[in-house]
Structure 1
Amino acid sequence: MGTVHARSLDPLPMQGPELGVQADDIEAPEIEQEPKQEVLENKNVVVQRVHIDGLGRTQDDFLSYEIAEVFRAKDLIDVMRRSHEARQKLLRLGIFRKVEVVIDTSRGEGALPNGLDVTFEVIEHRRLTGSYNTMVGNNEGSMVLGLKLPNMLGRAEKLTFQFSYGTKETSYGLSFFKPQPGQFERNISVNAYKVTGQFPWSSLRETDRGISTELSFPLWKTSQTLKWEAVWRELCSLGQTASFAIRQESGHSLKSSLSHAMVIDTRNSSILPRKGGLLKIHQELAGYTGGDARFLKEDFEIQLNRTLILDSVISASLWGGLLLSIGDKSTCIADRFYLGGPTSIRGFSMYSMGPQSDGKTKTFISKVEIWCSTLKPLLTSLASGDFLGGEAYWAGGLHLYTPLPFRPGRGGFGDLFRTHFFLNAGNLCNLNYGEGPQAHLKKLAECIRWSYGLGIVLRLGNIARVELNYCIPMGVQSGDRICDGFQFGAGIRFL
């Protein structure tokens, strides 16, 4: 699907705080007024004082950035709006369990006839909190245990320890997060982690031990992230049936890389958007800050969504990537791209298309007389080797989302479901550096895998979604593993 081979779930390193309250859950501020003052909606008012009650270890000067806009309000409606926005900002910091707003007329010495006092009543999180939850990755699930020290130094710093046990990955890590006062989107995080994953499509087990530092900041309408990462990777085969190509990849390697990511996201939802678009560009350069892995990696993602008649939505996506080796050493299997599965090219098995090693049982199968036609798909699957990933890929998807027929459960549980019709296509290949760019493009345009079908989509909040599709794979190449018929998928990122 165009992701790094060792990061199908990406539970670590962690980025930013988890918010306990979503925007949809935020209630309008409570307003208390005294009848003795004439405070009208269209009358000019002055916010004279802003109080924050309930502070313990939180520093006052840090919160002044979040509530500064309240003082600029010109009338009562403006006061309500700015107070509501300030409440959202305070909750976004992840240091308060509860924030309420009270707007009252000014009292006491120096009170103006049109003066208002705004009070934020807050309840801080405990010094140490724990959590237990489940997480959905790309067609896998995991159990996550965490310990968190929110607001460590009084300015929204957070120290988090997280342990994750999943169907394919086990990981644990320690993360420190620090936002810039007044600009929560501008933050820095430092992470240390260990991730162990199994990749049966490649007969491979990988263990990563690493540290990383990330700087995130907004720039115009984009979100930018700069990252340095050093990771010690240990690769080994899953069993004695692993091919010789996988055994050659086994061993230890050290990757030190600098990367940059830019995101423009105007979608109204990241799971089932009805409008808006997404542009994501990522570059990674390894080898110039140490380590024995040397490569330049570029990949992108584009998505456009548009609402049609009868509450239907058309969505188009395009992914692509290129991995260039620097020097004489070939690229590592852990850095290549992978395609196939219910989250990318539907109708194919998970990451089971493209370059692969020689079949592990071809010689045996050629000597077996097939008496029953139902054994053919099984034997074909056994005949394919281990999938090695590719150095260049592209994938495109076109979807038509519609409500359930006859709209059962409209306005409630039924709105979590959508039917969809899809068309997916893509290709994956390795590069021959002596052929040139035109030959590479021609190679990507040959032997295109594609599929079409229909299914049902269930949105799990704003976190993930699951799909049950009936798929018809086309353009199948020798060695590809297919899933003709019903296919189930769960994840957070879909083509």
Structure 2
Amino acid sequence: MGTVHARALDPMPMKGPELGVQADDIDFPEAETESTQEVLENKDVVVQRIHIDGLGRTKEDVLTYEIADVFKAKNLIDVMKKSHMARQRLLRMGIFRKVEVVIDTSHGPDALPNGLDVTFEVKELRRMTGSYNTMIGNNEGSMVLGLKLPNVFGRAERLTFQYSYGTKETSYGLSFFKPQPGHFERNVAINAYKVIGQFPWSSLRETDRGVSAEVSFPISWTNHTLKWEGVWRELGCLARTASFAVREESGHSLKSSLAHAMVIDTRNSHILPKEGALLKINQELAGYTGGDVSFLKEDFEIQLNRRLPWDMILSGSFWGGMLLPIGDKPTSIADRFYLGGPTSVRGFSMYSIGPQSEGTYSRKPGDYLGGEAFWAGGVHLYTPLPFRPGRGGFGDLFRTHFFLNAGNLCNLNYGEGPKAHLKKLAECMRWSYGAGLVLRLGNIARLELNYCIPMGVQSGDRICDGVQFGAGIRFL
């Protein structure tokens, strides 16, 4: 799978029927390497025909956009490179389980002496596929069952039903995905879902029933998503010992919001990058398209990664956000920010920083109510394991790291000026430092086992002084 086959043109002294995609990967005898490479790069060829074998329900017109560049190739090396890129685009569409490329000389009465025929041999996915897997969120595990109908109408559309049962959240939803032909990164998605979540740090249970529609598209080097969401929310108490502050927010609400997300991501990996940067900005405006919830919410994420000598990596992250209520109604506990835990400010328990209610019972601490403004920053130094068995082996999945985290979460009086806001965010800063072991689980998630020393602890904060375990996909 993925091999580019080619039959040699007569003047080319090639050995064997198979060629790699990159010119440097072609295996030639040493004495002929330079001359053969020169012939391959300088010999003019013309791609006369492109065939796609194995199509069933897929419409040919949607594939034309993905393979059109192959016709522009000028020499055999270029043909192989463009064919390989076209193969990658075909696989990205999610409608084929196998794609192979065969390059041959042209045949027939109209065949040119330097003409080539390129054939893509494809195998389509079944009309219906099922899946069972586990998923790791931020310190949460889930079992996921899925049913997918790929290529529903023959143009890479996808209909998916998914059920997820997790330690803190249970959900199921139906989604429809439609890409723009020739521009797979431009797509439309429509979703209907129900989510039941449990938030023990707030003694809160939340049930969301909603629909959403979103459009994704690139602009230059940035990726954007525009989204409308309408959700009926039901808040309730997770335990009989829930505080009065949580009980007061229990009940039903209807949120209709417009959201925009912009992402610039040059990292070489989403889980444990060695280089590159990330900038993510989110805005959400609720209330202007209906519903009884009104607010403006802004948050961002910045990450920079730099390689150092001796295979070390220096990484820095900074998060921040603000929630502004619109009108006289205060913000909801379901919309506020939360901070603390093994995936953000380490050394503190999950979401245990910031405003807290008074406990209903003397033996029970208060519930964490979230905040309307927060910031968090972290610096990490990743180093290889001292006993790493060698590059390219199992040891490359592990890293040791030394970290320094800091952050704060609070509510703001929006009648005051920006200086007062900054002063309040700087007061009572929590921070921690420590070291630990990081395990990368492919490009899915990562695990951390850290020894943490929390500092700047305030009254009501719950700390995790010593060993702390974290699992997730997004870490400070």
For this structure pair, what is the TM-score category when the shorter chain's length is used for normalisation? over 0.9
Matched, 1:255 2:255: yes
Report what 1:414 is aligned to.
395
Tell me the alpha carbon deviations over residues 376-426 of structure 1, each in whole angstroms, 9 at most, x when there is no partner: xxxxxx4x3100000000000000001101323542111000000000000
Q: CA deviation at 1:113?
A: 1.1
Deviates more, 1:398-407 or 1:157-166: 398-407
Residue type at the aligned position of 1:278 = L
- Mapped partners of 2:8, 2:132: distance in 1: 42
- Mapped partners of 2:212, 2:142: distance in 1: 23
Matched, 1:275 2:250: no
Contact kept in structure 1, 2:9 and 2:114, CA below 8 Å: no
Q: CA deviation at 1:433?
A: 2.0
Matched, 1:206 2:206: yes
Residue type at the aligned position of 1:453 = G
Residue type at the aligned position of 1:483 = C
- Mapped partners of 1:76, 1:278: distance in 2: 37
Report what 2:40 is aligned to.
41
Contact kept in structure 2, 1:348 and 1:473, CA below 8 Å: yes
Identical aligned residues as a percent = 78
Report what 2:143 is aligned to.
143
Report what 2:99 is aligned to.
99
Q: How does 1:31-70 map to 2 (within 5 A)?
A: 31-33=6-8, 35=10, 40-42=39-41, 43-70=43-70
Q: How does 1:113-132 map to 2 (within 5 A)?
A: 113-132=113-132
Report what 1:378 is aligned to.
none
Contact kept in structure 1, 2:12 and 2:40, CA below 8 Å: no
Report what 2:432 is aligned to.
451
Residue type at the aligned position of 2:408 = N
Residue type at the aligned position of 2:40 = E
Q: CA deviation at 1:32?
A: 3.2
Q: How does 1:389-404 map to 2 (within 5 A)?
A: 389-404=370-385
Report what 2:412 is aligned to.
431
Contact kept in structure 2, 1:423 and 1:452, CA below 8 Å: yes
Aligned residues: 451
Deviates more, 1:35-44 or 1:243-252: 35-44
Q: CA deviation at 1:28?
A: 4.5
- Mapped partners of 1:28, 1:268: distance in 2: 25
Report what 2:324 is aligned to.
324
- Mapped partners of 2:336, 2:199: distance in 1: 13
Of the three residues 471, 482, 487, the one matched with 2:452 is 471
Report what 1:8 is aligned to.
none
Report what 1:178 is aligned to.
178
Tell me the alpha carbon deviations over residues 171-206 of structure 1, each in whole angstroms, 9 at most, x when there is no partner: 000000000000000000000000000000000000
- Mapped partners of 1:410, 1:403: distance in 2: 10
TM-score by length of 1: 0.89
Instruction: Return 5+ residue gaps in structure 2 as ranges.
Output: 15-38
RMSD over aligned CA atoms reads 1.3
Report what 2:22 is aligned to.
none
Tell me the alpha carbon deviations over residues 63-95 of structure 1, each in whole angstroms, 9 at most, x when there is no partner: 000000000011111111100000000000000
Q: CA deviation at 1:38?
A: 7.5
Instruction: Return 5+ residue gaps in structure 1 as ranges.
Output: 1-25, 365-381
- Mapped partners of 2:2, 2:186: distance in 1: 27
Q: CA deviation at 1:300?
A: 0.3
Report what 1:237 is aligned to.
237
Residue type at the aligned position of 1:72 = K
Q: CA deviation at 1:239?
A: 1.3
Contact kept in structure 1, 2:59 and 2:154, CA below 8 Å: yes
Secondary structure of 1:323 counterpart: strand
Secondary structure of 1:71 counterpart: helix
TM-score by length of 2: 0.93
Of the three residues 30, 35, 40, the one matched with 2:5 is 30
Report what 1:9 is aligned to.
none
Secondary structure of 1:467 counterpart: strand
- Mapped partners of 2:11, 2:338: distance in 1: 70
Contact kept in structure 2, 1:37 and 1:113, CA below 8 Å: no
Contact kept in structure 2, 1:37 and 1:105, CA below 8 Å: no
Secondary structure of 1:41 counterpart: helix
Of the three residues 481, 485, 488, the one matched with 2:466 is 485
- Mapped partners of 2:366, 2:289: distance in 1: 35
Q: CA deviation at 1:110?
A: 1.0
- Give the structure, 1 or 2, with the largest relative contact order (CA under 8 Å, sep 6 or more): 1
| 1:44–1:141 distance in 2 versus 1, CA, 3 Å | same
Q: CA deviation at 1:35?
A: 4.5
